[in-house]
Amino acid sequence: MNPLEMLSLDDLHARTSVKWRLHPPDVLPAFVAEMDVVLAEPVVRALSDALRRGDTGYPSGTGYVEALAAFASTRWGWDGVSVERSAMVADVMTGVSEVLQLVTEPGSPVVVNPPVYPPFFGFVSKIGRRPVDAPLGADGRLDLEALGEAFARAATTGLPVAYLLCNPQNPTGTAHRPDELASVARLAHEHGVRVVVDEIHAPIVLDGVRFTPYLSLEGTDDAFAVMSASKAWNLAGAKAGAVLAGSGAVDDLGRMPEVVAHGPSHLGVIGHTAALRDGGEWLDEVLAALSANRSHLADELAQRLPGVRLREPEATYLAWLDCRALGLGDDPAETFLERGRVALGSGPTFGTGGAGHVRVTAATSKPILSEIVERMAASVG
Ligand SMILES: Cc1ncc(COP(=O)(O)O)c(C=O)c1O
In angstroms, what is the span from residue 82 Cα to ligand 1's centroid? 22
Whether 277 has a pLDDT exceeding 80, the answer reads yes
Ligand 1 test: best mutation among 34, 98, 117, most atoms within 8 Å of CB? 117
Angle at 158 between CA 129 and CA 142, to 5 degrees: 60
In angstroms, what is the span from residue 231 Cα to ligand 1's centroid? 7
Mean pLDDT of 53-64: 97
Q: Is 162 exposed, middle or buried (0-12, 13-18, 19+ CB in 10 A)?
A: buried
Q: Cα–Cα distance between 307 and 163 in angstroms, integer?
A: 35
Whether 357 has a pLDDT exceeding 90, the answer reads yes
CA dihedral 356, 359, 365, 371 (to 10 degrees): -30
Q: Which atom of ligand 1 is nearest to the CA of 117?
A: 1
Ligand 1 test: best mutation among 17, 121, 170, 196, most atoms within 8 Å of CB? 170
Query: 215-274, pLDDT tens digit by residue?
Result: 999 999 999 999 999 999 999 999 999 999 999 999 999 999 999 999 999 999 999 999
In angstroms, what is the span from residue 10 Cα to ligand 1's centroid? 27
Give me the chain's average pLDDT, please.
Answer: 97
Tell me which long-range contacts 327-330 makes (C-beta under 8 A, separation of at least 24): 328/356, 328/380, 329/356, 330/355, 330/356
Pocket residues for ligand 1 (CB within 6 Å)?
33, 91-93, 117, 166, 170, 198, 200, 228, 230-231, 236, 241
Q: Cα–Cα distance between 128 and 108 in angstroms, integer?
A: 8
Closest of 137, 144, 226, 224 to residue 184, by C-alpha: 144
Residue 29, beta-bridge partner list: 343
Ligand 1 test: best mutation among 200, 234, 239, 243, most atoms within 8 Å of CB? 200
What confidence tier does 1 reach under pLDDT thresholds 50, 70, 90? confident
Residue 357, beta-bridge partner list: 322
Q: Cα–Cα distance between 376 and 381 in angstroms, integer?
A: 9
Question: First-to-last CA distance in the chain?
Answer: 36
In angstroms, what is the span from residue 315 Cα to ligand 1's centroid? 14
pLDDT for 214: 98
Question: 256 with 95: CB under 8 angstroms?
Answer: no
In angstroms, what is the span from residue 92 Cα to ligand 1's centroid? 6
Q: Cα–Cα distance between 50 and 62 in angstroms, integer?
A: 17
Q: Cα–Cα distance between 298 and 161 in angstroms, integer?
A: 39
Separation in Å, CA 49 to CA 32, 228, 233: 29, 22, 18
In angstroms, what is the span from residue 356 Cα to ligand 1's centroid? 23
Q: Cα–Cα distance between 249 and 281 in angstroms, integer?
A: 34
In angstroms, what is the span from residue 33 Cα to ligand 1's centroid? 8
Q: Which atom of ligand 1 is nearest to the CA of 91?
A: 10
pLDDT for 137: 97
> In this structure, are strands 342-346 and 28-30 parallel, antiparallel, or unpaired?
parallel
In angstroms, what is the span from residue 200 Cα to ligand 1's centroid? 6
Q: Which atom of ligand 1 is nearest to the CA of 318?
A: 16
* Cβ atoms within 10 Å of 135's Cβ, excluding its own: 19
Listed range (1-5, 70-74, 305-309, 363-367) with the worst mean pLDDT: 1-5
Closest of 231, 342, 237 to residue 9, by C-alpha: 342
Those residues with Cβ within 8 angstroms of residue 244's Cβ, 6 or more apart along the chain or in another chain: 80, 81, 85, 86, 215, 224, 225, 226, 227
The secondary structure of residue 324, as a DSSP letter, is G
The secondary structure of residue 144, as a DSSP letter, is H
Question: 135 with 371: CB under 8 angstroms?
Answer: no
Ligand 1 test: best mutation among 116, 231, 233, 350, most atoms within 8 Å of CB? 231
* Cβ atoms within 10 Å of 250's Cβ, excluding its own: 15
Whether 311 has a pLDDT exceeding 90, the answer reads no
User: What whole-number percentage of the chain has pLDDT above 70?
Assistant: 100
Inter-axis angle of helices 366-380 and 280-304, nearest 10: 30
Separation in Å, CA 89 to CA 168, 204, 267: 20, 21, 13
Cis peptide before 24 (omega within 30 of 0): no
Query: 112-155, pLDDT tens digit by residue?
Result: 999 999 999 999 999 999 999 999 999 999 999 999 999 999 99
* Cβ atoms within 10 Å of 24's Cβ, excluding its own: 7
Those residues with Cβ within 8 angstroms of residue 275's Cβ, 6 or more apart along the chain or in another chain: 40, 42, 43, 229, 232, 233, 235, 283
User: What whole-number percentage of the chain has pLDDT above 90?
Assistant: 98
In angstroms, what is the span from residue 216 Cα to ligand 1's centroid? 21
